[in-house]
Structure 1
C-alpha cells in the first residue's frame, strides 16, 4: 500500500510539472500583447552603473535583473543626434539609407535649412475646433524618413489591425519611432502645455487625449519644487551642486537645487520650461498610461506597439552636464518612472505578456572646460569661424564668392560657383586638414579618407541627397563653444555607447559583452515577432537573445 501511495504521489508531481512546463511553453509560443520601445534621450550606458546604488529595485535594476543586458551597444555613424538616433533604432539602418542625416540639414534644392521632421504639406493640431490650420515650416510628419520602420512592418503584417502609437516631448522623438503608418504620434506643445499631433495622422485628437489635456498636468507639475529626491549625502556620483558651466534660470543667480518652479516658470518660457526639469518625464509617463487605457493597447488579438521617448534627460544634460547633481537626480527620478511604467504594464497585461526594449538615441560628452581642468584632452571649435575662414581662403584662391552655403558641427555644404567643384573640394580639403581640432575629413565625391575604420563610419552616415559635400570629425573632447552643460554628435565612446536592455515576453535572463550596433535592434524585433525586416534594416539580429 505504501508503495502504491508513493507511486501515485510521483505521478501526481510529474503531472503538475508537465502541466506547468506545457503552460510555460504555450506562453513562450504566444505573441506578446504589447511591444514597448523606450528611448531615454542622451543616456550614456554608464548611467546604469554610476547611479545604481541609489536606484530602487523595480526600475533599471529590474530590467537588468530579470531581463537581458546588451552591454556593448554602439552607434555606428555620425552625427550621434536625436533625429538620426530615433530613425536608426526603428528602421534598423543608418542615415545613408533612411536619410535623416542630422536634426537639421541644408536642402540643396530649396537652398534653405530643413528640419528632420518638417513637412509643409500638413499642419499641427491640438484637436480643438478653433485650431488654426496653418501650414508652415513648423508642420511635422515622417515624410523625410526614407525607409520603413519596425512599426510600419508590424502594421503591414497585421493588415493594419495592430495599433501603433508614438509619444514624446519632442516631435521627432514621437514621429520617427511611430513611422509612416502609425495610428497616432503625439508630442508636447511648449506654448500651451498640451500634447498635439499633425494632420498627417488626424485633424482631431482622440477623446481620451482631449480629456488628458484638460487635466492641465503640465501646469500642476510646473508649480512643484525640484529638490533632491534623496538626502544630499547619498549623491556621491556627481560633482558639487554649485559647479560652473551650468544653466542659470532667469530669476536666479546660481544653478543650485532646489528650484521653486512656481516662482520661475513664468519668466522661463512658462510651459516651455517643462522639458528642462525631470517632471517632464513624469508628464510623459502619465500620457503613456492614458494612451494605454484610452487606446486599449494590448487588449486585442493583435500585437500593439507603444514607442515612448523621454526627452527631459537630454534637456537637462545639455543644461547642466553629465557630472551635475541635477543630472544624477534626474536619473534617480527616471528610475522611478521606469518602475512606475513596468508596474502599470504588469497590472494591465500581466507579467510576461509584454515585451520591452530600452535604449538611447545617443549619449554625451564632458564639457571641454571640465576636461581641461581634469587634465584630459578637449577644446572648442567655432562653426561660424570655420565657415568664414574657409570662405575667405577659397575666395583668395578662386575669386570673391560665397562658397559655403551651410555648416554645422559635422557637415559643410558648398554653393554652386563658377570654379569647378572638384577644385573647390580639393582646396577645401587641403585647408581644413591643417585646421586645429579637425581629425578626419570625408569627401564623398572622392570616396577617400585615410582612416579606413572611419571611412566605413562616414559611408554609413552619408546620404547623397541630404548630406553635405564635406563630412567632418573633430578630435576627442572638442565641441562647439558653449557656456553650459554639454552636447554630443561625435564618433567616440562618450557619444555612441548607449544602454540596450530587453525585458519581458520571451526574453532570457542574462547579458552579453559582444559588440553590437544600433541598427540591430529592429531586426531583432522582426525575428522575435516573426514579421518582416524593415526595408533597409540590417540582417544581423542580436543572436544572444535567441539562445
Structure 2
C-alpha cells in the first residue's frame, strides 16, 4: 500500500555516486529518519530484498553495527540520542516513563514528553512538551547560530517528534491516536497539514483489505498461538473501517507520516533558503507491528517491504524538488521476537517472564517485613527501574532495598540487579559500545534524579511480556544486543558507497551531521564523535 501523495510522484534517476576529494558544500536540507524498532537484525535479514528507498539509502555509507549503546532501549531514550549527540544519562530521558514520588499531582507516573506541571495534566491525558529533554538537538544548535534555518519534526509518536526536534522547532506534528496534532499552539497550521488530515480521515473511514504477500512474506506466514485467544505470525494487516489501532500497526501510518513530511517540505520550502534546514521524521509503524505480532512473521515482512517502497516514493519526491539534501537513517532501538518463534529457531532459553517479578508483586511480599499492608516497591513493569516507597523510614528503606535486591538476584530469570549507588560509582562509559559491560550500559541511561533505586536486568531472551495481549506480544527495552544494535545509514547524492563494519553509536550522528553542515561542536561537549567519511564528511572541516 502506498500513500496517494507520494505514489503520484515519479521516481527520478540520480547520478552514480563518485568519490569526493574535497569537502562538499553543506547540503541545504538534512533529513533525519528514525525507523522505530528497526533492529540491525531486521536490516541484515531484509537488506537483500529492498528495491527502493532503503536500497538507495544503504548504498551510501552504511554502518550495520550501530548501537543505541545504553540499557534503557525504549522509544524516548533512543530518540533522545539521535540528534543530541548524548546518551540518556545526559539527555535525562531515562525511559518512556518514570515515577516521581515528589510530583505535585496525585498521579506520580511521569511521561517522558510531557510537562506534568500543567494544571489538569495526567499521565493518561498529558500535555506534550520537551520539558524533560536536558540537551539541545541539531535543530536547536543550528537555529541558535542561524535563526533563518528551519527545524521541522514529523512522527508517528509525539515522543519521537519531541526528542528529535527539541525546543526550537518551527513545526512539529505527530499522530495522537486519531489524527496528526501539534503542541505548538501559536504556530499557523500549514495547508498541507489540513489536507493530509482530511485525507487520512477519509482513508480511515474505509476498511482496508488484506495485503498481498509476495513469496518471501508468504514463506514467513506461520501462525503461533501466544495466548488462548491470540495468534500471530500469518496476519495480512487488514483493517476494519475506523480501526485506528490497526492503522498504526501497518504501513498506512508510515505512508501518512512521509506524505505529511513531503507536504511540509514543499509548502515551507525547506532546503530552498540561504541556510540549511532540518527535517526529522519518526516512522513508528515497524514498532507497532513488532509489538503486535513479533518481528519474525509475515506481518513484519509486509511492513518492511512496504516501508521500502514508501521511502522510495518520498526520496523521489525530494529529488523532484531539486533541493540538495542529505539523509541519515537509524532506529531508536531494536526488538526481541516472540519467544514461541525463537524457541523453534533453536533459542531454547527464550521464554516469557514470571509475572511474579513485577515490582508491585515483589513489593507486596516484602511489605509485612516493615509492617506495611501495601506494596513497598513501585515500578513500570517486570524489569527496569524500581523505586522504594519514599514514605518509608530510612531504616526500613535499607531493609527493603537489601531484601528486594537479594530476592531479584536469586530468581533464575534475572541476570543482574544494580543499585543506584552502584551506578553512581560507575564511570560514564566510552569507546566502542559493543564492548561495554552490563553495568556500563546501565550507567549510560542512569540519571540520579529520575532513575529508580535499583535496576532489574532479565537474562537474555527473557521477554518481559508475561501475558501477551492484543497489540502487545513482543517488546524491547533490554541491554542485550538484539535491542541495542541498529543500522546507521548516511546518504548524499554524489557521495560514494562505503560499507563500514566498526561499532558506532547513535550519539555519533549529531556531530557527524554538524560537521557536514559546518556547525561547530566543541570537542568533548557531547558523548558522540564525528564519523570521518560518512557520506563524504570531513570531520576536521
Provide the rounded CA distance (Å) in 1 between the counterparts of 2:481 and 2:436: 18
Alignment of 1:168 onto 2:155: yes
1:50-449 mapped onto 2 (5 Å cutoff): 50-56=45-51, 58-65=52-59, 67-110=60-103, 112-120=108-116, 137-158=125-146, 160-191=147-178, 194-199=179-184, 202=186, 204-214=188-198, 216-220=199-203, 223=206, 225-231=208-214, 233-235=215-217, 239-245=220-226, 256-261=234-239, 264-266=240-242, 270-350=243-323, 353-376=324-347, 377-382=349-354, 385-400=357-372, 402-408=375-381, 409-416=383-390, 417-420=392-395, 421-447=397-423
Provide the rounded CA distance (Å) in 2 between the counterparts of 1:452 and 1:257: 38
**Structure-2 change in CA distance of 1:53 and 1:497 (3 Å):** same
Kindly report the root-mean-square deviation, in angstroms, between the aligned alpha carbons of the 2 structures: 2.9
Shift of 1:381: 2.1
**What SS does the aligned partner of 2:420 have?**
coil
Provide the rounded CA distance (Å) in 1 between the counterparts of 2:76 and 2:421: 25
TM-score normalised by length of structure 1: 0.83
**What SS does the aligned partner of 1:198 have?**
coil
Provide the rounded CA distance (Å) in 2 between the counterparts of 1:514 and 1:254: 35
Name the larger-Rg structure: 1
Aligned residues: 495
**What SS does the aligned partner of 1:473 have?**
strand
Provide the rounded CA distance (Å) in 2 between the counterparts of 1:190 and 1:335: 24
Shift of 1:149: 1.1
Task: Give 1:130's aligned residue.
Answer: none
- Bigger shift: residues 398-407 or 82-91: 398-407
Whether contact under 8 Å (2:384, 2:455) holds in the other structure is yes
**Structure-2 change in CA distance of 1:407 and 1:280 (3 Å):** closer
Shift of 1:384: 5.9
C-alpha distance after superposition, 1:304-360 (max 9, x if no partner): 11101111111111111111101101100000011111111111135xx21100001
**Structure-2 change in CA distance of 1:94 and 1:26 (3 Å):** closer
Shift of 1:70: 0.8
Provide the rounded CA distance (Å) in 1 between the counterparts of 2:342 and 2:40: 20
Provide the rounded CA distance (Å) in 2 between the counterparts of 1:498 and 1:25: 27
Task: Give 2:526's aligned residue.
Answer: 537
Provide the rounded CA distance (Å) in 1 between the counterparts of 2:510 and 2:152: 16
Whether contact under 8 Å (1:122, 1:198) holds in the other structure is no
Shift of 1:90: 1.6
C-alpha distance after superposition, 1:233-278 (max 9, x if no partner): 3436x633433339989xxx987454543xx234xxx334320221
C-alpha distance after superposition, 1:456-515 (max 9, x if no partner): 112111101111010111100112214263100111121111111000157442021111
**Structure-2 change in CA distance of 1:502 and 1:24 (3 Å):** closer
Shift of 1:122: 6.3
Task: Give 2:437's aligned residue.
Answer: 453
Stretches of structure 1 that go unaligned for 5 or more consecutive residues are 1-22, 124-133
